Amino acid sequence: MNVVSPDLLRRFDVPGPRYTSYPTADRFVEAYTEADYRQALNQRRGGGAAALVLPLSLYVHIPFCESLCYYCACNKIITKHPERADEYLRYLSREIDLHVQQIGAGQAVSQLHLGGGSPTFLSDDRLSELMGILRRNFALAPGGEYSIEVDPRTVTTERLAFLAQLGFNRLSFGVQDFDPAVQKAVHRVQPAEQVFNLVAEARRLGFESINVDLIYGLPRQTPESFDRTLAQVAELRPDRIALYAYAHLPERFKPQRRIVSAELPGAAAKVSMLSRSLTAFMGAGYVYVGMDHFALPNDSLAVAKRQGRLHRNFQGYSTQPDCDLIGLGVSAIGRVGATYSQNAKTLEDYYDYLNQGRLPVVRGLALSRDDLVRRAVIMALMCQGHVLYESIDLAWLIDFRTYFANEMALLADLERDGLVTLDDTGIEVTPNGWFFIRAVAMVFDRYLQADRTRARFSRII
């Protein structure tokens, strides 16, 4: 097991992107319009047999939640009126119809993710209606990854069985912390016993992969209290663990203003929590996949990393090959061809676009050649942990070390820190370097290197 020094963790505790895309979403521009997105969809349809065979990934955003979690930075709508989802589903259906008009019906889908908000805010009937709409318009491929985010407070064991009947084969439980004092401080009280029962039932039902989300840096957390949560999660033994650092940005996210700043752990405590988490999970037999993801050795994500088949998209690490991603719903982000797009962020605007018969895209980006070259390098680092100069040279007709002369100088500093090794053939991320992979990727981010204003991002640690 690799030991990461607290000193190294402290030194690299700087803001930085998560690189679920490159360029990152903060670089999207309003000059990219619905017309540009339609053109990208048309190019997919007109790209010949290869484009039609390439499976799609679908992301559906369900913005509703029954109650507010104070730490949340997601696009969500708090409501006690479940019937609001009826109108939303009608508009989702319209958006899907508009996509089908552009790309044709029956496109193969190998990956589907329902996120939010709380997708389990939807009743069984409404979830069934949504899946019916999707199945009528797309061909969900056998063996695909079909996942849904689950709020343990809004599901029962009977609901889990229903999710399995609908075709979901992967679940992600939002846990964050098992400590009752922390749960109360962030307005998300859910007894550990409830989560344990749900995970046990999900296993009995045969879900292929169960993920648990955790957050460190929350109010009233201490390294010692978080140790107890780590021990409980190790006992729970989910297939995957996502461990996120809480980013306190109350000026950007209004719900966070309800958090008492004085109750937040300091930087040293956060570093200690991360260090103890790495030790606990790797000691429990988990593979460190990268960034903030851990997986059991037999989970498909860990297998994909071992075999060099790891990919990364707007949902994070994935076993699915690079494919076009269609984002559906308010604020959803998509990727089609060499473009990114994002839907309207408010229900009012989202509905208004669809009432006009328009796709609700309000911003995005058409990638330049330089963007594509740098994306290839960043994703190779993030997913495979190495870059071969020759492969980039041949794919993009450049001389890597000339094209990235400035970046190579910056990498030399990371080599001295033990995060990468450099030789005549390429760049290799060291075992310790995996814990700071965002810092390695940031070297190749032209936008970040140009403006150096990183306050918009969460901290790496």
- Give yes or no: residues 10 and 58 share one domain: no
Rounded CA-CA distance 378/304 in Å is: 18
- Give yes or no: residues 424 and 316 share one domain: no
Residue 43 located in a structural domain = yes
Please list, in sequence order, all residues whose beta carbon lies within 8 angstroms of the beta carbon of residue 287, skipping any fewer than 6 positions away.
Answer: 294, 295, 296, 297, 299, 302, 305, 306
Q: Where do the DSSP E strands lie in 97-167?
A: 107-116, 138-150
Structure tokens at 80: 């006690």
Residue 53 located in a structural domain = yes
Phi/psi of residue 361, nearest 5 degrees = -75, 130
- Digit-coded pLDDT (tens) for 28-80: 999 999 999 999 999 888 755 544 557 899 999 999 998 899 898 888 899 99
Q: Does residue 422 carry a pLDDT above 90?
A: yes
Residue 343 located in a structural domain = no
Residue 9 located in a structural domain = yes
Q: Where is the domain boundary, 326, 349, 380? A: 326
Residue 250 located in a structural domain = yes
Whichever domain contains 437, its CATH number is: 1.10.10.920
- Give yes or no: residues 110 and 202 share one domain: yes
Token match 């429990």: residue?
284
Q: Does residue 452 carry a pLDDT above 80?
A: no
- Give yes or no: residues 63 and 94 share one domain: yes
- Give yes or no: residues 167 and 260 share one domain: yes
- pLDDT of amino acid 456: 55
- Give yes or no: residues 176 and 278 share one domain: yes
Q: Does residue 314 carry a pLDDT above 90?
A: no
- Digit-coded pLDDT (tens) for 382-413: 988 899 999 999 999 999 999 999 999 999 99
Q: Where is the domain boundary, 299, 326, 353? A: 326
Rounded CA-CA distance 389/395 in Å is: 10
**What's the average model confidence in pLDDT over 296-310?**
91
Q: Where is the domain boundary, 326, 356, 390? A: 326
The pLDDT > 90 percentage for the chain reads: 73
- Give yes or no: residues 309 and 438 share one domain: no
Whole-number mean pLDDT of the chain? 91
For the entire predicted model, the pTM comes to: 0.90
- Give yes or no: residues 123 and 168 share one domain: yes
Whichever domain contains 303, its CATH number is: 3.80.30.20
Strand partners, 422: 427
Rounded CA-CA distance 451/129 in Å is: 46
**What's the average model confidence in pLDDT over 180-194?**
95
| Across 26-40, 112-126, 316-330, least confident range | 316-330
Token match 């006992």: residue?
235
Residue 456 located in a structural domain = no
Exposure of 139 by Cβ count < 10 A (0-12 exposed, 13-18 middle, 19+ buried)? middle
Helix H or strand E encompassing 335: strand 333-336
- Give yes or no: residues 304 and 408 share one domain: no
pLDDT band per the 50, 70, 90 thresholds, residue 428 = very high
Of 358 and 20, the one with more pLDDT: 358
Q: Considering its fold, how many domains does the chain have in total?
A: 2
- pLDDT of amino acid 432: 84
| Across 47-56, 200-209, 260-269, least confident range | 47-56
Domain that holds residue 380: 1-21+368-451
- pLDDT of amino acid 416: 92
Determine how many CB atoms are found less than 10 A away from the CB of residue 310.
22
Angle CA(110)–CA(90)–CA(141) in degrees, nearest 5?
15
**What's the average model confidence in pLDDT over 238-258?**
91
Residue 458 located in a structural domain = no
Structure tokens at 43: 């190019």
Helix H or strand E encompassing 211: strand 209-216
How far separated are the first and last CA of the chain, in Å rounded? 19
- Give yes or no: residues 152 and 288 share one domain: yes
Token match 């001389």: residue?
399
pLDDT band per the 50, 70, 90 thresholds, residue 1 = very low
Helix H or strand E encompassing 384: none
Q: Are the CB atoms for 195 and 152 separated by under 8 Å?
A: yes
Taking alpha carbons only, the member of 314, 406, 330 closest to residue 362 is 330
Residue 148 located in a structural domain = yes
- Give yes or no: residues 12 and 51 share one domain: no
Phi/psi of residue 57, nearest 5 degrees = -115, 135
- Give yes or no: residues 73 and 187 share one domain: yes
Please list, in sequence order, all residues whose beta carbon lies within 8 angstroms of the beta carbon of residue 32, skipping any fewer than 6 positions away.
Answer: 339, 340, 341, 361, 363, 364, 365, 366
